Amino acid sequence: MQKLCITICLIVFSYFIAKGQGKPILKFNAHARFKIVQFTDTHIQYDSYRSDSVLAVMKTVIKREKPNLVILTGDVVGSDNRKKAWLKVARVMSDAKVPWAASLGNHDAEYEITKEETMAAIVGLPYNLTISGPEELAGKGNYVLPIQSSKSQKTAALCYVLDSGEKPDPNAYEWMDDSQVQWYRKQSAAFTRQNSGTPLPSLAFFHIPFVEFHHVIGKSTTVGVNLDAIPASGSSRSNLFTTMQECKDVIGVFVGHEHNNNYIGCLDDICLGFGQATGRQIYGELGSGARVIELYEGQRKFDSWILKLYDNSREKDTWKPANSNERKFFVSYPRSFAEKKPNASKITMTADADTRLGIRLSGSGTATIDWGDGSAKQVLTLADGAGVKIDHTYPDASAHTIAINGEHITALDCRDSKLSYLDVSNNTALTFLDCSENRLTYLDLSNNTALKILWCNGNQLNYLDVSKNALLSELYCYRNLLTNLDVTKNTRLTWLNCYQNLLTSLDLGMNTLLRRLDCYENRLKTLDVSKNTALQWSVCCDNQLSAESLNALFATLPQSAAAAKLYVAGNPGEKDCDRSIAKSKNWTVGLRY
């Protein structure tokens, strides 16, 4: 009965499609902004409750962000009943009355229908702006979407949508067919002529990334997660990227395809960003969500960020709400991609979009704070062990850069301040730093050799180098995106909390003073604590430890004089492991604490 009702609804939906509807007009809003939500790799199946949960994610994102346009960048549907699956996807946008457009991915042409049949099925759907494109071009779905000015019908920006093909070599420099490249060149030239010779700010969307996406990996201004791509270097450029450079209109390119990537970087003034995979029945470790892009009218400028609503695993068939729905990896082009210049100040930080900022400083002598809004500099008298709390109110909620100088600043507490940038490299006297619950994607501590306690949890760090911080005794780096953590140089470490990262291994062989270890919600398959003779407490839940691995862990536990505790719930081997091995060493093995 339920399937029959769904089928009837789709028939009715198709009827209204056949009746026709004028295409919506894309236009900057009254605030001179135009917001785009990018969904990618949804892999929707027609008759699947798991796919229905993905459609619910799309609805939630659209309701929250209220975009002017939704763009689907490929691999939209999967399995059988593809036309019906497309109608279910389309229904999300039509119910929300939001214009949408799609590019096709390598999996969209598989199984039942061809690309031509797919385009025939979706072109003309309510609120859909997708165009099959010129017949003489390679692929299907090559078109351009003009965005009108907020004050007139004049075109103020462009979105190019391209078909990146089915199985191109991602390392090739000629993988985009030349017919498409030349078509883009002609379109760009025509719009530039219409705009009195000035290229219009433009974005491009397609499914499979070109090789330049690998060239931004490792740059200090690149933010987000990379688990799929291999860094590349060199001066060679692909045919499409080279043409974009020559045309000087495209400022951002957004793709999908690689589910374990959501990073964004900039190469030769063109921003290159992966979307956030949206699907549930797909490979990948980054969860389900979307990328948001917001253009500024009359400027070569946009903001972009990632939203993640769910954590999921196809292999484990898990689907649970993410711990935070706040935007991640916020960038503002071009400001975020300007190479950072050396700072003369002891401490420099950038706080995004808030009217209040509070920090706490400790040390000796005086400290001077420039709040970055033109107000008078504030001078403080510091005292060790007695932090001075300072609050500042801004006249507006824009980003501000704060500079702090002092003779001897030993402690900085700037937690929960919406910081997107923090530089403490010139403050070598720092022994305590709490920069937790911010938006930091990069943290350089190489000059802070006196540092003893570090709180950097709740940020967006995918890399953390503490090799120069030999005096570090407490490290709290949980709830980040770390794929690797080297603590072999931190021989004084007594407390390590690295839970909820992406760690697959953890070498604790040099941390003989370690008393507490919290490494739960990672991807550890083995763990050896044989050198951690002071260990009394460890939480290793929700990793990938088999019964054999858990037994090996129990065997490495130090003999404890007092009752020590270890928690192992959520590991594959939790039921079949032999807890008596740990008990013989005076350890209690529990599930969760």
What tokens does 573 get? 């081997």
Q: Tens digits of per-residue pLDDT, 303-330?
A: 999 999 999 888 878 899 988 788 889 9
> Which of 215, 114, 103, 237 shows the shortest CA–CA distance to 164?
103
Residue with structure tokens 């702090």?
A: 404
> SS3 breakdown of the chain: % helix, strand, coil, rounded to 5?
20, 30, 55
Judge whether 142 and 150 are in contact, CB under 8 Å. no
Under CATH, which architecture does the 340-461 domain have?
Sandwich (2.60)
Where is average pLDDT lowest: 170-174, 234-238, 346-350, 555-559? 170-174
Judge whether 275 and 254 are in contact, CB under 8 Å. yes
Q: Tens digits of per-residue pLDDT, 49-60?
A: 888 999 999 999
For residue 253, pLDDT beyond 90: yes
Domain boundaries, the chain: 21-337, 340-461, 480-593
Question: Which residue has better confidence, 335 or 434?
Answer: 434
Res 18: pLDDT: 41
Q: Tens digits of per-residue pLDDT, 196-215?
A: 999 999 999 999 999 999 99
Instruction: State the Cα–Cα distance between residues 535 and 529, nearest whole angstrom.
Output: 8
Q: Which residues pair with 351 in a beta bridge?
A: 400, 419
Res 551: pLDDT: 98
Judge whether 309 and 61 are in contact, CB under 8 Å. yes
Dihedral class, residue 262 (left if φ above 0, else alpha if ψ from -120 to 50, else beta): alpha
Res 11: pLDDT: 46
CA dihedral 566, 567, 572, 574 (to 10 degrees): 80
- What backbone torsions phi and psi does residue 357 show, to the nearest 5 degrees? -140, 130
CATH of domain 480-593: 3.80.10.10
The secondary structure of 289-356, three-state, reads EEEEEEEECCCCCEEEEEEEEEEEECCCCEEEECCCCCCEEEEEECHHHCCCCCCCCCEEEEECCCCE
For residue 581, pLDDT beyond 80: yes
Question: Which residue has better confidence, 384 or 176?
Answer: 176
What tokens does 175 get? 């993988």
Res 342: pLDDT: 65
Instruction: State the Cα–Cα distance between residues 197 and 499, nearest whole angstrom.
Output: 54
Average of per-residue pLDDT values in the chain: 90
Residue 179, classed as helix, strand or coil, is: helix
What does the DSSP assignment read for 493-511? --EEE--SS--S----TT-
Cα-based angle 198, 203, 207 (whole degrees, multiple of 5)? 150
Q: Tens digits of per-residue pLDDT, 521-544?
A: 999 999 999 999 999 999 999 999
CATH of domain 21-337: 3.60.21.10
User: What's the rounded mean pLDDT across residues 545-561?
Assistant: 96
> Going by C-beta distance under 8 Å and a sequence separation of 6 or more, which residues neighbour residue 264?
222, 223, 224, 271, 272, 273, 274, 304, 329, 331
For residue 391, pLDDT beyond 70: yes
